[in-house]
Amino acid sequence: MDINSSLLLSLTTFVYLGAAFFYLLVWVFRLEKLGIAATLTATLGLFLQTTGIILRWIESYKIGIGHAPLSNLYESLVFFSWITILVYLFIEYRLKNRVIGAFSTPFASLAMAYASFSPNVEDTIKPLIPALKSNWLIAHVVTCFIGYASFAVACGVGIMYLLKKNESFKSSYLINSFPEIKALEDLNYQTIIFGFLWLSIGIITGAIWANEAWGTYWSWDPKETWSLITWFIYATALHVRFAKGWGGSKIAYFSIIGFFSVLFTYFGVNFLLSGLHSYGAK
Amino acid sequence: MKKNKDSVIDYLCSVKLAIFLLIVLSVTSVFGTLIPQGEPLNFYQERFNPTFFNLIKLFRLYDAYNSWWFLTILNLFSVNLICCTLKRLPLTIKLLKKNILDTDAEKISRISMKKTIDITNNNDYSSKIKGILGNTKSKKLDDGSEIITSERGKINYLGVYILHSSILIIFLGGILGAILGFKGNLMLLEGEKSSRIINPRTSEEIPLGFEVRCDKFAVEFYDDGRMPKEFRSDLAIIDNNLEVLKTQIIVNKPLTYKGITFYQASYQSVPEISIEIEKKNNKKETLKLSAFDTINIPETSLSLGILQFLPDVHGVPAARIWISDGKNFTDAQWVIKGKSKVFGIGTEQEFKIYLSEVTEKFMTGLQVKKDPGVWIVWLGCAGLIFGFIVVFWIPHRRLWVLIKDNKILIAGQTNKNQFQFERDFDMICKKIEETAKV
């Protein structure tokens, strides 16, 4: 059997689902010994996926329409899941805590499962229309998705923070294994800051690209507007810290609302609204 | 009364208003993404019920982002930004001016992050510590002790101003572009030139100050034959009757001349029709013209034009042709490719007109723009990112070292990222400890 990108990426889906399953076991049943297995599975998935993405890039050149694998919904989902796992593994390494894995690897595996199995997502390598043929494609998509992935992690951490803070869960051993409340609050805030920086760069690179392709850096296209709405929401979250008496819970809620806005910017706009980015739908 | 005024100003300067406005902006921005923008009013009348249509009209929801209420929110947002800045500025200047050496043993010992090292030999600690910290300031106290200080990232206090003023700079760039710039469309047939473009909103003509000519347009398809791969226009710029520039543009690779940029936006294919005219004396002429064109018939004072063209009438192209002597028109007659018809004005001037060939000619669609504000917008964007990095990743860190009575006291403070600072602080303490042991 030939090894090609679709085989590797389909395999990745199952490996990530396995990793998410392990992380959940580690958390729910306190199977600390499975922790290493969870990390190894996630790392193996990351390796398979990285190889798959590179192969897909090479394959596109082989069929004469070479472009970075960042041009449609399928490819963006794959990239989103890749960067989410990468951000998560970095946090796991820094915090030495695997519980967050139970709240972030499911995002990555669901994205892969959706990309692989949904009939709405076309997974063949398609040529690029002239408007997409630009060096800004890579810069724009990569920066936006680093932002999206950080916000996914922030959302997961935000949920953990709210669970940990809730008095009625105090005695629950599920919640006790979470990192300290201070650490969760800090991580929630840090991932929002990190995501916000990349979202800002993503919006700016998009503006530069639009200016080069159409002569307008901002046209209030639904995708642009929704990315700005997302930006407003996280900007609010960052200012909440400076307003008196607004603590970690408010920021945690914002990180959850913000991620819904991210999801709408990412999917909702493509499926429900029309505009310049509608080619991203299929 | 004065108290009221103060509280209004306080509110304008507050972070609370900023948070409120950010939330309002995120909610109100949604409208324009749900309702299609920039369509003629009857578009909305057909699609929405009367109550909702009236709301759309009242709040200009068909052009939401240029409506009075949205611009009001944006203005309020700018005022809030400026007020916040002005209010905090004196405090920041005080912090910036603050001399780190302006302290004493008592104050240093009150800092929470500190470490004491005992001195066991007669080394020259002062210069060694200065070497470790780098970029230090120091002073000797009356009791023979010495304070050495070092600080980094004072720019952190300015970060928030860089960030916030960058947003205002972006607004400024946008406003400048709207006032001093223009945007328009230009359709050019291959071989055609123009010195003016059309503003699509007002249909007004905008003079360019020079001429632009399209020499050739080409569209290239992928192997599947359907999906376009590239649109190319060969353009020439003619300034003061001199051809100053010749270049090819594609999508994502525009041409800029004298601040005006030409973008490849669209194209149309226009049929070019070859007509053979046989005069009464059997003399034949061949003419080439496009649909809607009018052309002079050589050696006569007559003109000929195409009223209508159909590329496919039961598989054959056909053109509806008329002839005029300036006053009278013949009836427009359909001529099918490969066939001829007789046209006449009076008896003398009778022609047999034969449609010999139909070829395709392209018309390139250019988006034309002048935006002198765009560089200010980019400057603002760069400042935004730079300011953001300064605010969140360049903390203001301060270190004090007090050498007094066989003891070295090291104390440190940071305004961000305590965790990382603690690690770095331990490192520095270790280095100083090592010199004390030697």
| pLDDT of res. B438 | 63
> Nearest CA to CA, how far is A195 from chain B (Å)?
12
Using 50, 70 and 90 to split pLDDT, how confident is the model at A243?
A: confident
pLDDT in tens, B51-66: 999 999 999 999 999 9
Mean pLDDT of B295-310: 84
Residues in CB range of A149: below 8 A, 6 or more apart: A80, A83, A84, A86, A87, A195
pLDDT value, residue A84: 93
Q: Quick one: pLDDT at residue A282?
A: 31
pLDDT score recorded for residue B25: 96
Q: Are B236 and B243 spatial neighbours (Cβ–Cβ below 8 Å)? A: yes
% of chain A surpassing 70 pLDDT: 95
Which pLDDT score, from 0 to 100, does residue A281 have? 36
All residues of chain B having their beta carbon less than 8 Å from the beta carbon of residue A197 are 385, 388-389, 392
Contact B92, B157 (CB under 8 A): yes
CA contacts within 13 A on the Cβ side of A78: 30
Distance from CA of B202 to the nearest CA of A (A): 18
* Mean pLDDT value of segment A80-92: 93
- Structure token digits, residue B127: 């210069």
Asked whether the beta carbons of residue A220 and residue B37 sit closer than 8 angstroms, the reply is yes
For residue B265, list chain A residues with Cβ-Cβ distance below 8 A. Answer: 214
Counting one residue from chain A and one from chain B, the pairs whose CB atoms sit within 8 A come to 103
> Are the Cβ atoms of A273 and B33 closer than 8 angstroms?
yes
Q: What is the pLDDT of residues B355-409, one digit of tens each?
A: 888 888 889 999 999 999 999 999 999 999 999 999 999 999 999 999 888 889 9
**Interface list for chain A against chain B, based on CB atoms closer than 8 Å:** 64-65, 127, 129-131, 133-134, 186, 193, 196-197, 200-201, 204, 207-209, 211-218, 220, 222, 225-226, 228-229, 232-233, 235-236, 239-240, 242-243, 261, 269, 273
**Cα torsion B256, B258, B259, B261: sign:** negative
Q: Which amino acid is at B122?
A: N
Determine which of B135-149, B263-277, B335-349 has the lowest per-residue pLDDT on average. B335-349
Looking at residue B277, its pLDDT comes to 87
Count of C-beta atoms within a 10 Å radius of residue A168: 8
pLDDT of residue A224: 93
Are the beta carbons of A130 and B229 separated by less than 8 Å? yes
For B21-43, how does the pLDDT look when each residue is reduced to its tens digit (9 = 90+)? Answer: 999 999 999 999 988 888 888 98
For Cα atoms B159, B161, B162, give the angle at the middle one, nearest 5 degrees.
65
The pLDDT assigned to B290 comes to 79
Mean pLDDT of B328-355: 81
Tell me if B34 and A273 make a contact (CB, 8 A cut-off).
yes
Angle at B58 between CA B57 and CA B63, to 5 degrees: 55
**What letter represents residue A124's amino acid?**
T
Predicted local distance difference test score (pLDDT) of residue B405: 81
% residues pLDDT > 70 (chain B): 98
Average pLDDT on A103-127 reads 89
**Residue where the block lists tokens 């972070």:** B15
Residue keyed to tokens 């301060």: B398
User: Residue A192: is its pLDDT beyond 90?
Assistant: yes
What is the distance between the alpha carbons of residues A95 and A191, in angstroms, rounded to a whole number?
A: 13
Q: What is the pLDDT of residues B219-250, one digit of tens each?
A: 988 887 788 899 999 999 999 999 999 999 99
SS3 assignment, position B172: helix
At residue A279 the predicted structure's pLDDT band, cuts being 50, 70 and 90, is very low
- What does B200-213 look like in DSSP terms, one character per residue? TTT--EEEEEEEEE
Q: How many helices (H) and strands (E) does chain A have?
A: 10, 0
Say if residue B1's pLDDT is above 70: no
Q: Is the pLDDT of residue B254 over 90?
A: yes
**Of B29, B229, B419, which has the smallest distance from its Cβ to A228's Cβ?**
B29
Taking residues B409-419, what's their average pLDDT?
Answer: 88
Nearest CA among A222, A225, A247, A251 for reference residue A236: A251
- Please answer yes or no on whether A222 and B33 come within 8 Å at the CB atom: yes
**Nearest residue to A44 via CA among A17, A70, A69, A74:** A17
Q: For residue B98, give every residue at least 6 positions away whose Cβ sits within 8 Å of its Cβ, in sequence order, or none.
A: none
pLDDT above 70: residue B3? no
Element (H, E) at A71: none
Q: Tell me the pLDDT of chain B averaged across its residues.
A: 89
Residue A280's pLDDT band (boundaries 50, 70, 90)?
Answer: very low
Which of the residues B14, B16, B33 would you substitute to probe the A interface, choosing the one with the greatest number of A C-beta atoms within 10 Å? Answer: B33
B155-170: average pLDDT: 94
Alpha carbon of A209: minimum distance to chain B alpha carbons (Å)? 8
Residue B416 has pLDDT above 50, yes or no: yes
Count of CA atoms in the C-beta half-sphere (13 A) of B233: 34
Asked which of A39-53, A214-228, A265-279, B296-310 is least confident by mean pLDDT, the reply is: A265-279
Average pLDDT over residues A120-130: 86
* Chain B interface mutation, best of A128, A189, A192, A212, highest count of B Cβ atoms under 10 Å: A212
Q: Which residues of B touch A267 (CB under 8 A)?
A: none
State the Cα–Cα distance between residues A144 and A224, nearest whole angstrom. 12
Q: Where are the domains of chain A?
A: 1-123, 129-282
- Say if the Cβ atoms of A226 and B250 lie within 8 Å: no
Chain A nearest-CA residue for B77: A232
**Fold of the B179-268+364-384 domain:** Tick-borne Encephalitis virus Glycoprotein; domain 1 (2.60.98)
- The least confident of A64-78, B42-56, B280-294 is B280-294
Question: Quick one: average pLDDT of A91-108?
Answer: 90
Longest Cα separation, chain B: 127
CATH number of B100-153+395-437, picked from 3.30.310.10, 1.10.357.10, 3.40.190.80, 3.40.50.410: 3.30.310.10
pLDDT at A113 over 60: yes
- Decide if B100-153+395-437 and B179-268+364-384 have a common fold: no
Q: Tell me how far apart the alpha carbons of residues A168 and B41 are, in angstroms, rounded to a whole number.
A: 55
Tell if the CB–CB gap between A243 and B16 is shorter than 8 Å. yes
Q: What pLDDT is stored for residue A155 in this prediction?
A: 94
Q: For chain B, give every domain's residue range.
A: 2-95, 100-153+395-437, 179-268+364-384, 270-361
Question: CB-CB: which of B22, B32, B263 is closest to A232?
Answer: B22
The partner residue sitting opposite A129, judged by closest CB among B228, B368, B388, is B228
Q: Average of pLDDT values for A99-109? A: 91
Give the angle A215-A219-A221 at the CA atoms, nearest 5°: 130
Residues of A in contact with B19 (CB under 8 A): 236, 239-240, 243
Residues of A in contact with B16 (CB under 8 A): 243
More confident residue, B22 or B270: B22
What single-letter amino acid sits at B12?
L
Q: Indicate the pLDDT class of residue B79, thresholds 50, 70 and 90.
A: very high
Asked whether the beta carbons of residue A212 and residue B23 sit closer than 8 angstroms, the reply is no
DSSP, collapsed to helix, strand or coil, labels residue B344 as: strand
pLDDT tens sequence across A25-47: 999 988 888 999 999 999 999 99
